[in-house]
Structure 1
């Protein structure tokens, strides 16, 4: 540790020399890495927004259970309580005949006048059940088999689509993150290998002088981390700028669109992208250093 601290000045000086040796190439590497991490930031941001919207749809997912004709008010309330305790049910509440009619009037809008043709309220009371889509099958089986429930309107097609959208967002996000990570590692390891090749004479000289591999390789690791970190900072600033611009535009045009907190997204990008760039820089540099053993 003392030896490392003693040589820290040399490591940074050597890192600066390696960067200056191919300054134009390294600038392009920073920009290229920044663009890749910018795409990664867009993927993560888009995935967060998509997951937020899907979760909101999931929370609104519901099925309706209709009672048998002979059920009493007390049994009806007891049944609603029982349904609310089923695993995967977010909430269950009784919708009486008047509220059922009001809901239909809201749906029909101006066409609700047709309901005035009925002398009596044609709508029945039902239990409104908010569910977790992942537990849909289990909930449907339990509710349908309950005594006092005659019919369940399950909205299966809509709920299945919500479930498919959730799965698609997760798979797409994982694939894109994996693709960006692998691409960054390949580019960075190639850059480190090229730097080692350009400095092969100096490396051989240091070896002849008895320098250990860690002493020779650390400046290249530091170079890879520094360049990737600069690219990560550039990407994070670009994503933050894009989020601010997008939220201002969306806020003035699509007021009803439920979006996650802008500050939460920005904080996440400021922490996540530079952290990922540091990790990828370290991994790519260590991978590229494997070529030292072959030189």
Structure 2
């Protein structure tokens, strides 16, 4: 396409937006409302996913070594666990460290446990992490059958429920976002279709004088692009401002906790770019779907 023709299409698309002010406003508003909903859901789901991922990373198997096992027995057990394909890491935690951790976890009340420093009743422990957190249950069952594995703990019952809730939340969030995007496409397509129907005579005249489908389609293609970009501006501003406020308010309160929010930068800029891209694609798709029926021979 020649540069002069492309400039002509740009001018025509902008003039059309100005001539059809109310329809432009209606189309851009439909994009705006939908992208606000999509943006809010996306921000919430991404932060929930971070919390879920952090929780998954905290899942571990604690293998209490039999008190009858010697150093060689412990190393043999450790090597066997390391050879399980799903296992990522195995760390040895001596019973002295386990006792110190218990004392620290109880704070002031933990002082009472110092009485056991001379005669420590705890077991040495192997802390096992899997490559995929969902493999925790299967790996734990394999370890239970090994010699000198006196007790295997991994939060049985609670872990299964945790993974179930996490998967359910992720699936629901994905379905909602996809549903909102299809709703947006439907709204934009119908709104732009009304605009194009009002200009069907213009399209018919252009076809009669020999204009190609591509020549007719380009201004509408660009109109859809502008509508999508215009509709994305307000959601980007609202979501960026709101997330900055929420992040500044909650981040200090959650610091040091597993429920940390995604950092403002670069997360908000990534969301902004995604919303802009979504708006542009939705606008283009709506325009192309609407003008297609008028270009059929």
Contact 1:133 1:159 in 2 (8 A): no
Distance 1:129 1:94, change over 3 A: same
How far apart, in 2, do the equivalents of 1:65 and 1:254 lie? Answer: 31
Is 1:63 aligned to residue 61 of structure 2? yes
Query: What residue number does 1:102 align with?
Result: 100
Query: What residue number does 1:274 align with?
Result: 276
Structure 2 gap ranges (5+): none
How far apart, in 2, do the equivalents of 1:134 and 1:177 lie? Answer: 25
Contact 2:224 2:285 in 1 (8 A): no
Query: What residue number does 2:293 align with?
Result: 291
Structure 1 gap ranges (5+): none
Contact 1:38 1:235 in 2 (8 A): yes
Tell me how large the CA RMSD over aligned residues is: 2.3
Deviations 1:226-283 (A, max 9, x none): 1011212332232221221111111344333422222121221132111122222222
Contact 2:63 2:125 in 1 (8 A): yes
- Structure 2 length as normaliser, TM-score? 0.89
Q: Secondary structure at the match of 2:51?
A: helix
How far apart, in 2, do the equivalents of 1:250 and 1:84 lie? Answer: 40
Query: What residue number does 2:229 align with?
Result: 229
How far apart, in 2, do the equivalents of 1:74 and 1:57 lie? Answer: 34
Shift of residue 197, structure 1, vs aligned partner: 0.9
How far apart, in 1, do the equivalents of 2:296 and 2:180 lie? Answer: 28
Q: Secondary structure at the match of 1:92?
A: strand
Query: What residue number does 1:128 align with?
Result: 127
How far apart, in 2, do the equivalents of 1:202 and 1:69 lie? Answer: 89
Contact 2:27 2:192 in 1 (8 A): no
Contact 2:62 2:152 in 1 (8 A): yes
> Any residues of structure 2 matched to 1:190-269 within 5 Å, and which?
190-257=190-257, 258-269=260-271
Aligned residues: 293
How far apart, in 1, do the equivalents of 2:126 and 2:151 lie? Answer: 11
Shift of residue 178, structure 1, vs aligned partner: 0.8
Contact 2:31 2:231 in 1 (8 A): yes
Q: Comparing 280-289 with 178-187, which one deviates more in the overlay? A: 280-289
